[in-house]
Amino acid sequence: MDSPWLLVAAALLGLVMGGGFAAAVFSAARRGERVAGVVTPSVPDGVSQVLDALETAGIVVDPSRNVVKASPGALALGLVRDGRIAHAEIGRLADRVRDSGEASSADIDITRGRFSDATVHLGVRAARLGTRYVLVLAQDHTESRRLDEVRRDFIANISHELKTPIGAVGLLAEALEPAADDPVQVRKFAARLRTEASRLARLTGEIIDLSRLQAADALHQPELVAIDQVVAAALDQNRVAAEANDVSLVFAGDRAAKVYGDEALLVVAVHNLIANAIAYSPPRGRVGVGVSRKDGIVEIAVTDQGVGIPEDDRDRVFERFFRVDQARSRNTGGTGLGLSIVKHTVQNHGGEVKVWSLVGRGSTFTVRIPEASEKPQTAQIPISEISADIPAHDDAR
């Protein structure tokens, strides 16, 4: 029979060994938690929620440039790739901030995505987040830079365009004085003065129209507008010019089309398209205006039989002060702002404007605007025959 003392010793030894094993397991678990904390770090409380709510780009970076947390805006800009900072300049900015402990800002240009060469201009600011992480915030300044460049170009172009009529008025005024005793010369100079004053007034008016269209509240009180009234008013405004250039105006289309917007602005836009078509039409040419409705869209197409637009210039015709033919435009009194006004007017009405053209055959400018939800009774008018030489293109824009 075993001694009682031997039984007690064996029991004590078992307890000691079991406790040691348990301690070893607990210690291993603690070490595992610490390792997991390094491998899958977490940001301080509340930072994740803030990043999720950010509309701009924000990322939290660890010492190895691993991205611990990124906002949706950062992912959309392509600042994160495979869990790391995608752009070396941003990574270097984060490293400098971590080393110095001081917040820093920089303007950084990046390309959006791996397969795009489009440049994005970012304003980046970085600051330490605790002792381990760096918070990087990035603001996309691409659009604001583009607008600044447009504004500078616009001011430069205005200055250039105003010089011509203002200089001409000054020279003609000087010429009038010595010609005071010559009625023929006085009448000649007076007529030139009226022409230049009219050009100056037209340019000033179009600059005001364009500024109004670019305002945030350009359509602050949209109303139901009948497109047939818009087209009729625009045609009436151009009948004298058409007769003077021996150009006939032809209208065909739907008299029931309606949109929500500003009638005066729409009249100006259609007027500009018709005036442009007349100016570039040959004698005895035709300008056709057509209105149609399809799938909730109202289309206004203005077609001419003019000289056409070269393919390289079609994407630029809606730019401010751009002229396909500089000499012809100045002879017809064009300012180079008419089509830009058309584009901004249509965009403010939630639509688009496109151009189809064939050199030597003519051009078709098509405005497409969402139709008003109110559905009036459709009443078609007889469609006048338009010359077969005028190309009809529903997708002209």
Q: How many Å apart are CA 319 and CA 339, to the nearest integer?
A: 8
Query: Which DSSP symbol is given to 313?
Result: G
Q: Which residue has the higher pLDDT, 345 or 161?
A: 345
What does CATH list as the number for 221-397? 3.30.565.10
Cα 300 to its chain centre, rounded Å, is: 23
> Taking phi first (over 0 means left), then psi (-120 to 50 degrees means alpha), and beta for anything else, what does residue 187 get?
alpha
CA distances from 126 to 45, 79, 83, 133, 359 (A): 19, 14, 18, 11, 55
Contact 37, 120 (CB under 8 A): no
With a cut of 50, say whether residue 211 has pLDDT above it: yes
pLDDT at 219: 63
> Taking phi first (over 0 means left), then psi (-120 to 50 degrees means alpha), and beta for anything else, what does residue 367 get?
beta
Cut 0.95: pTM above it = no
Average pLDDT over residues 299-322: 83
CA distances from 198 to 22, 144, 311, 323, 330 (A): 99, 35, 32, 20, 13
Class of domain 47-140: alpha beta
Helices (H), the chain: 4-39, 47-53, 72-77, 88-100, 142-176, 183-213, 227-244, 263-279, 326-331, 338-348
Q: How many Å apart are CA 101 and CA 98, to the nearest integer?
A: 5
Q: Which of 213, 290, 307, 210 is nearest to 250 (CA)?
A: 290
pLDDT-derived band at 382 (thresholds 50, 70, 90) equals very low
Q: Which of 73, 98, 90 is nearest to 125 (CA)?
A: 90
Instruction: Return the SS3 of 351.
Output: coil
User: pLDDT for 132-191, tens place per residue?
Assistant: 899 999 998 888 887 777 677 667 666 666 776 777 788 888 888 788 788 888 888 888
pLDDT at 100: 92
Q: How many Å apart are CA 76 and CA 61, to the nearest integer?
A: 17
Contact 70, 48 (CB under 8 A): no
Contact 236, 206 (CB under 8 A): no
| The domains spanning 47-140 and 145-214 adopt the same CATH topology | no
pLDDT at 199: 75
In the numeric block, which tokens belong to residue 234? Answer: 């625009």
Average pLDDT over residues 224-246: 92
Query: Which DSSP symbol is given to 387?
Result: P
pLDDT at 115: 54
CB-side neighbour CA atoms (13 Å) of 248: 10
pLDDT at 116: 57
User: pLDDT for 259-288, tens place per residue?
Assistant: 998 898 899 899 999 999 999 899 999 999
pLDDT at 210: 67
DSSP string, 139-174: EE-HHHHHHHHHHHHHHHHHHHHHHHHHHHHHHHHH
Contact 397, 352 (CB under 8 A): yes
Q: Rg of the chain over CA atoms, in angstroms?
A: 36
How are the residues of the chain apportioned to helix, strand and coil, as percentages rounded to the nearest 5?
A: 45, 20, 30
Q: How many Å apart are CA 65 and CA 53, to the nearest integer?
A: 23
pLDDT-derived band at 93 (thresholds 50, 70, 90) equals very high
User: pLDDT for 311-324, tens place per residue?
Assistant: 877 777 877 666 65
pLDDT-derived band at 339 (thresholds 50, 70, 90) equals confident
| Segment (H or E) for 220 | none
pLDDT at 161: 65
Indicate the domain borders of the chain: 47-140, 145-214, 221-397
What residue type is 213 in one-letter code?
L
With a cut of 50, say whether residue 77 has pLDDT above it: yes
Instruction: Return the SS3 of 44.
Output: coil
Contact 283, 245 (CB under 8 A): yes
The CATH architecture to which 145-214 belongs is Orthogonal Bundle (1.10)
Cα 150 to its chain centre, rounded Å, is: 12
pLDDT-derived band at 365 (thresholds 50, 70, 90) equals very high
